[in-house]
Amino acid sequence: MDNVHIPDGTLPIDEIHEFCLNYEKKITDLGGLDLQILGIGRTGHIGFNEPGSAPNSGTRLVTLDDLTRRDASRDFGGKENVPTKAITMGIGTIFKAREIILMAWNKKKAFIIKKAVEGEISSEVPATYLQLSDNVEFIIDKDAASELTRFNTPWLVKDCTWDLPMIKKAVIWLANTLGKPILKLTEEDYNSHGMAQLATEQGPVYNINIHIFNKLQHTITGWPGGKGNADDSQRPERAVPDKKRSIIFSPHPDDDVISMGGTFIRLVDQGHDVHVAYQTSGNTAVWDDDALRFVEFARDFSKSINLDTSKLDDLGKTTRNPVAEDDVLITMELLERVKPHQVFAAGDFADPHGTHKVCFDIIIEALRRLKDLFPGDDAREFWVRAEDRTRETAKAYDRLGLAEYEAMEAFVRWEY
């Protein structure tokens, strides 16, 4: 570690200026930096060079952006515990390194990575300065790269293999870009937006529009468990068996109702065998009285929709610990006992505590072991976020020219 030099964030305020000067001098005296390893914040900061930082800035004390502090709140046990200031190496100092590597993981970084790589160079996104260097390498995973043009809209930069998922993605993108319903898209629209290859290989465009419109239309259903004794060739769920066993995994005791309450009620009303699994105890997040109140809330809701409370499974009876083998095993035991035809899992990873993602990963691991699968930072209250999401889903369908609804609960289907 003798060759690794990290600014000392524990210094008294009156010693920081001299420390920064000595830090810069030490870099010069040692012949410069061989390697600079960077992360990137959602403000576009590198180091802690927040928006507004100058390209020739040196090591200094800075005030942290509010978003940066919110993102760090989990590591500090709350935003109020996150420091308001930090010592950072300057952008000018970073550029003196002989090699610069920026690393980023997960979907949360996708939009800022796109700005850093493809956006205009600006002090408002300090990471864009890296475009000026010839010795920078970005090491990012698939999720962090997902908004880059070559991955998100590849037809704009290269020829594509036009399978159904790619065609659907492109047509929806075109309709949203132009603000037109799918059935009103023209050949000129395709040709002027990088989709001439699609029009030529799969056209005429009228047929493409009809095909994708019908595909989207067939994702809408009022029968989430399938409709028995009906033709299911154009429905999102199979008709057989007529009555299905379903498990709804709910990270918190209210997630099932908030995220898919309408679907939950339909499944019960239509006679399916519905089980609910609650995955967390809440022992570190709420008082015991509140935890008991949520238990009663879950039971009362189940009774109100005529769901037998014996179908409620509490998988979060133990105190909070890091995810362990036992968490996967009890989930596997439930799946093996119920043998569900359908499994519903919370996919809202904007949960600021990360609980939804942890619970989702446990479910996927349990399913993977039982049978191979085929391939949050939002400050709003969860119920507000869910309500907004269902309304926005309905609006998105409406904009594409499909039937208009007040709200729609959306699911991604994984076959297993």
| Among 17-31, 257-271, 321-335, the least confident range | 321-335
Q: Which of 217, 232, 266 is the last residue of a domain?
A: 217
Q: Which of 179, 202, 217 is the last residue of a domain?
A: 217
Instruction: Say if residue 180's pLDDT is above 60.
Output: yes
pLDDT above 70 coverage of the chain, percent: 87
Q: Which of 140, 161, 190 is the last residue of a domain?
A: 140
Within a domain: residue 229? no
375 — pLDDT class (breaks 50, 70, 90): very low
304 — pLDDT class (breaks 50, 70, 90): confident
Together in a domain, 75 and 133: yes
Together in a domain, 136 and 34: yes
374 — pLDDT class (breaks 50, 70, 90): very low
Higher pLDDT, 414 or 192: 192
Q: Are 378 and 393 in contact (CB under 8 A)?
A: no
Together in a domain, 100 and 60: yes
Question: With a threshold of 0.85, does the pTM exceed it?
Answer: no
Together in a domain, 113 and 204: no
Count structural domains, the chain: 3
Average pLDDT over residues 23-27: 94
Within a domain: residue 321? yes
Together in a domain, 123 and 70: yes
Within a domain: residue 322? yes
Cite the active site residues.
50
Within a domain: residue 404? no
User: pLDDT tens across 209-252, in order?
Assistant: 999 999 999 999 999 999 988 888 888 888 889 999 999 999 88
Together in a domain, 279 and 202: no
Instruction: Say if residue 100's pLDDT is above 60.
Output: yes
CATH at residue 88: 3.40.50.1360
User: pLDDT tens across 279-288, in order?
Assistant: 876 555 555 5
Domain housing 60: 13-140
